[in-house]
Structure 1
Amino acid sequence: MRRYNIPEESVSLRDPAEEELEKAIKLLKPIRQHRMLMAERQAGREKRRLAELRTIEERAQTAYQQAREELPGKRRDLAAEYQDNKIPLESLDQWKGRETRLVEDVQDQYQEARVKKKEADEQEQRLEKARQEVMRQQREAERMKFMEEELNG
């Protein structure tokens, strides 16, 4: 009868499926950790961008408020130029054009403020999605860690 020397290292008491699972976990764990890190970085970028957009929105809103508050005074100043004077029709058209531009400027400021608010709101939604992705990646990494701990006993 022949005796074979089988090194103890090659004799495994574990189920082959467990060994395959362990290999898969060792392969996937760093990938999951990397994805989690990338999701966290993306969420940080989205958060910083939201802060920038909220600042821009605030400036646009302030500019609109200021333009709206200044409009009555500018209209009075414009009216004072032509008050108590006989003015030719051409000057009246110029006056009307100047007053129209004043109102249009306020409307433009209002539109700009609305656009900036919309951009900031959309960015806030992107930030929320990024935060959800971070949470999802964290759960995946935790699952991988749990599976590894269960496998290793």
Structure 2
Amino acid sequence: MENDLEIDPQRASLEQAIALLKPLRQHRQARAERQQREAQQTLENSHEQLQYVEARLTRQTEEQHARRAQLASQHLQQCMGFEEVGRWHDRERRMLDHLATLRHEVHQQQALLEAHQVQLQQASNQARQAQRAVEKLACLTEALNDES
């Protein structure tokens, strides 16, 4: 009878450890889930920004082709002075430089998007691990309660 009333010190120690770990692991899980949501939002924003920059590049490329065609048709079969050829060349160069800048911006956005995808994957993995840790404690608690 006396043995039934005695508390197993190992069990008490385990219950105390679980009581300490449970809020910590729940906090880690909540933080990991929050980081995952933030990473998802960042990825979505990055994707939208990439689409915007790509559309801008497409639009600017089309405009550049139209300007080039317009300039060519304006000066078709005309004698042009050296200065006018220089101005035409300068306009062409500025348009091409602008397109190169936009292409570079697209590449930067693509790299940023890939980095955000990696961050989201890492955040998802951390959230899953944190959830598993909380579930393990819940199973351990349930097993201890079933023993009593």
3-state SS of paired residue (2:6): coil
Structure 1 counterpart of 2:41: 48
Number of aligned pairs? 144
What's the CA shift for 1:70?
A: 2.5
Deviation sequence 1:20-70 (CA, Å, 0-9, x none): 111000010011011101111111111111111111100111111112222
- Structure 2 unaligned regions, length at least 5: none
Residue 79 (structure 1) shift = 2.5
Aligned residue identity for 1:148 = T
Structure 1 unmatched runs, 5+: 1-7
TM-score for both structures, normalised by structure 2? 0.88
Which residue of structure 2 lines up, in the alignment, with residue 67 of structure 1?
60
Match of 1:80 among 73, 81, 91: 73
Higher helix proportion:
2
CA distance in 1, matches of 2:127, 2:139: 18
Aligned pairs for 1:122-133 (under 5 A) are: 122-133=115-126
Query: What's the TM-score once normalised by structure 1's chain length?
Result: 0.85
Contact 1:78 1:99 in 2 (8 A): no
**Which aligned pairs between 1:116-127 and structure 2 lie closer than 5 A?**
116-127=109-120
Partner of 1:24: 17
Shift of residue 88, structure 1, vs aligned partner: 2.6
